[in-house]
Chain A
Amino acid sequence: MSLLPLTFLLPLAGTLVLALSRGRLGPRSSAVVGVVSVGLAALVTAWIGWHFVDSGVGGVDMTLWTWLSVGDFRPTIGLRLDGLSLTMIGIITGVGFLIHLFAAWYMQGEAGVTRFFAFMNLFVFSMLLLVLGDNMLLLFLGWEGVGLCSYLLIGYYYWTEANGWAAFKAFIVTRLGDVFLAIGLFLMFRELGTLNIAEILQRAPEVWAEGAWQAQLAALLILGGALGKSAQLPLHTWLADAMAGPTPVSALIHAATMVTAGVYLIARLHGVFELAPGVLYLVGLIGAVTLLLAGFAALAQTDIKRVLAYSTMSQIGYMFLALGVGAYDAAIFHLMMHGFFKALLFLSAGAVIVSCHHEQDMRRLGGLWRRLPLAYAGFVVGGAALAALPLVTAGFYSKDEILWEALAAGHGGLMLAGLIGAFLTSLYTLRLIIGTFHGEMKSDNARHAEPGRGLVHGLPLVVLAVLSTFLGAWIHPPLEAVLPTSPGAGVHGAGHTVLGIVAAATSLVGLGLGAWLFLTRWRWLSERVSTGWAARLWWLWHNAWGFDIAYDRLLVRPYRGLVRLLESDLIDRLLLLAAWLAWGLHRGLSLTQSGKMRYYAATMAAGVTLVLLVLVVSG
C-alpha cells in the first residue's frame, strides 16, 4: 500500500520532465515519457488493487502531510484507498494508459507533442488526486486541476480561434459549478467542523436531521458542482464544444474520466444526499431529463464527435438517474462500462478522423467499412455496447441494472425515461455507424482513407473492444464496503426478468427500426427534415434545444454590456471631476493674466478705489 502515492507521482514526474525539457525532447521521446509514466502508474495500480482485494480490508488511509493547520482548519494531503477509489483509479490509469498509447499514434506529426503529453499526464495526476483525496479540499484540488487540463487540451489546437473559445466556455461553465461546490464546502465546514470525507459522512447524520435545510442546501450545492463537471442540465452546454480538442483527449477527459467526476462526487458523499431525499430525487430527475434531451440532440448531429459527446451526456444522465434512486453501485458500474465502450468509440472515431485526413463530418464520410476494418469493428462493438445489445455487451448489463433499480425504488417515471432513452440510443448509434461506414463515399478524404497500422494503434482498440463485451461486465468493482446497498439488491423476482426482456426488446426494436430507416430511407429522411415543422424540430435538436442561444441572450450579452459600460472606469472618471474642476478654475484665472499692463493698472486702480470707498462709507 505504501506504493499508493506512486500512482499519481509517476504521471506528475512525466509532466515535470516534459514541461522542463524546454524543447530538448523530440516528439518520439516525449510520447515515450508520456505513455510510460502512465503505464507504470497502471502497473502500480494493478499491484495495489490485487493486494487490496486480497487483504480484504475496508479501506486504507494514508496521510502524507498536513496541508495547513490554523485553529480547527486542518486539511491534510491525505489519501484514502477503498473500493470506490480503487475502481476509479483502475479506470483512470487503465483506460488512461490505453488512450495514451493510442494518442502516441494519433499525435504523430502534430506540432507540440511534448505539450500534449505534459498536459495529459498532468490530467491523470489531477484526476487521481481527485479520487484518492481523503478530504474535500484535496478533492477540490484535483477537481480544479482536471478542469484546467481539460481547458488546455480542448484548446490544444490553439491557432484556430474557435477552439480557444470552446476551451474557455468549458472552463467557465464548469467553474460556475465549482463555485457552488466551494460554497458547499464552506457550509459543510461551518456545520460539521471538518472537511475529511469519512468524518463528514460520520458526522452528517449526527448533526443534521433527515431533511434539515442545511443538509438540503449542502447537497444542492454539491450537486451544482457535479452538474458542471458532468455536463448535466443546465450546465451541459460546454461538452459538445469541448470536442474541439484532439480525439484522445475527448476519449480520456470528456468520456471516460473527468466528466464522470460528478457521479463519483455524489457517490462519495452519499451520506449527505441520503439526508436530503428531495435533492436526491432531483439528481435522478436531472439525469432523466438530460438523458432524453441529449438523446434527441445526438440524433440530429452530423459531426461524429458531437454525436458521441451528446451520447456521453445521455449516458451520464443514466448514472445520475441511478444515483437519484439510491443505486450508487449501479451508477459506478455503469460509469466503468461507459468508460470502456465510450473510450473505444472515441478512439475508433479518432482512427477514422486521422485516416480520413481530419474529416469528421458524417455528410462527407460514408462507405468506410471496407477500408477501415479495425475502426469499423471498434464502432460496431462499442456501438452495440452503447445501444445495450442484449446479453453479449457490457452496456446491457449495466443499463439493465439501472432500470431495475429505478423500478425497485418505486420511481416508475424515471425508469420509463430510461427505456425511452435506450430506444433513442439505439437509433442514434445506428445512424452514426451507418452514416460513417455504409453508403457511398461522399468526399475525396473518405475515398483516400489510409488505415492506421501498428501495435500502438491496434492494441488499445482491441483491448477496449474486449472490455466492452460481456467479458468487461464480469469485472466486479468492490463497492460493497463503501456504498450503501441499493434498493433492488438481492431481489430477483419475475419483475427483473420481465424488465430485462422489455429493455432488450426496446433496444432491439430501436436497432431494427434504425437499420431499416438509415440503410434504406437515408435520402428520404434527409429530405423530410429539410422542410416544414420537421426542419424546425431538426434545427432545435441540432442546436441541442437552443440552450446555447438562450444563455447567450440571458447571460453573455448582459455581461458584455456591463463590461462595456464599465470599460472606461466610471468611478475613476467621477473622481477625476475634482481634477477637472481644478483645471477649469486654473484656466479661468489665468485668463486674467493677459500680460497687458494697462489692464493691470486699471484693475489696481479700481481695487484701490473700492477699498477707499468701503473705508469712507463704513468709517
Chain B
Amino acid sequence: MSGVPMEHGLVLASILFALGIAGLICRRNMVFVLMSLEIMLNAAALAFIVGGTAWGQPEGQAMFLLVITLAAAEASVGLALLIQLHHRYKTLDVDAANRMHG
C-alpha cells in the first residue's frame, strides 16, 4: 500500500476528533455544534478507513458508508431541532434550551 503510515492517519483522526469535541463544548451556536458533531463523526469514519486500509479489510469502508448514513440522519434530526429551537426561543443558543435541569 501507499507510504502513509497508519499512525499518521490515526493522529489526523484524533486531531479532528479533538477539534470536534472542543467545538462542541465551546460553541453555543447550534449550527456550529452540529458542525462539530459532523467533524467528530468524520474523524471516527477516517479512523475506520485508516484501519481498513492498514489491514486490507473491506469492513472499514463498509463502516464508512454506515457513518455517512448516520451523519445524514443525525444532520436531519439536528437541523429539525435547530429550526424548532429557533422557532421557540428566537435564538440559536443551545444553552437557552435548558428546561430539563434538575
A-side residues, CB < 8 A to B, are 589-598, 601-602, 605
Contact = CB atoms under 8 A, between A and B. Distances in A.
Interface string B70-102: 000000000000000000000000110111111
Interface in B37-94: 94
Contact of B101 (A589, A595, A601, A602): A595
30 contacts: A589-B102, A590-B102, A593-B100, A593-B101, A593-B102, A594-B98, A594-B101, A594-B102, A595-B97, A595-B98, A595-B99, A595-B100, A595-B101, A595-B102, A596-B94, A596-B95, A596-B101, A597-B33, A597-B94, A597-B95, A597-B97, A598-B24, A598-B25, A598-B26, A598-B28, A598-B94, A601-B21, A601-B25, A602-B25, A605-B21
A440 B95 CA distance: 96
Given A590-B102, A595-B102, A597-B94, 20 more contacts: A589-B102, A591-B102, A592-B102, A593-B100, A593-B101, A594-B98, A594-B101, A595-B98, A595-B99, A595-B101, A596-B94, A597-B33, A597-B97, A598-B26, A598-B28, A601-B21, A601-B24, A601-B25, A605-B21, A605-B25
B2 to A, nearest CB: 29
A292 to B, nearest CB: 78
A202 to B, nearest CB: 80
A609 to B, nearest CB: 10
Nearest to A589: B102
B95 A598 contact: yes
Contacts of A598: 24-26, 28, 94-95
Contacts of B26: 598
A594 to B, nearest CB: 5
A593 B99 CA distance: 10
Nearest to B22: A605
B38 to A, nearest CB: 15
Contacts of B102: 589-595
Interface in B15-37: 21, 24-26, 28, 33
A590, A592, A598, A602 interface centre (most CB from chain B within 10 Å): A598
Contacts of A595: 97-102
B83 to A, nearest CB: 17
| Main SS class of interface, A | helix
A183 B23 CA distance: 85
Nearest to A593: B102
Contacts of B100: 593, 595
A276 B7 CA distance: 109
Contacts of A596: 94-95, 98, 101
Nearest to A599: B25
Contacts of B24: 598, 601
Contacts of A594: 98, 101-102
Nearest to B100: A595
A477 to B, nearest CB: 87
Contacts of A589: 102
Contacts of A601: 21, 24-25
B64 to A, nearest CB: 22
Please provide the 8 A-B residue pairs with the shortest distance between their CB atoms, ordered closest to farther. Answer: A595-B98, A593-B102, A590-B102, A595-B101, A602-B25, A595-B100, A596-B95, A594-B101
B56 to A, nearest CB: 26
Contacts of A592: 102
A595 B102 CA distance: 8
A605 B22 CA distance: 10
Contacts of A602: 25
B33 to A, nearest CB: 8
A594 B97 CA distance: 10
Contacts of A593: 100-102
Contacts of B98: 594-596
A596 B95 CA distance: 5
B11 to A, nearest CB: 16
A355 B95 CA distance: 90
Nearest to B21: A605
Contacts of B95: 596-598
A43 to B, nearest CB: 85
A593 B98 CA distance: 9
A299 B97 CA distance: 89
Nearest to B28: A598
A146 B62 CA distance: 101
A482 B21 CA distance: 107
Nearest to B24: A601
B96 to A, nearest CB: 10
Nearest to A594: B101
A414 B33 CA distance: 106
Contacts of B99: 595
Nearest to A604: B21
B34 to A, nearest CB: 12
Contacts of A590: 102
Contacts of B33: 597
A585 to B, nearest CB: 12
A398 B26 CA distance: 108
Contacts of B94: 596-598
A591 B101 CA distance: 8
Nearest to A603: B25
A467 B20 CA distance: 116
Contacts of A597: 33, 94-95, 97
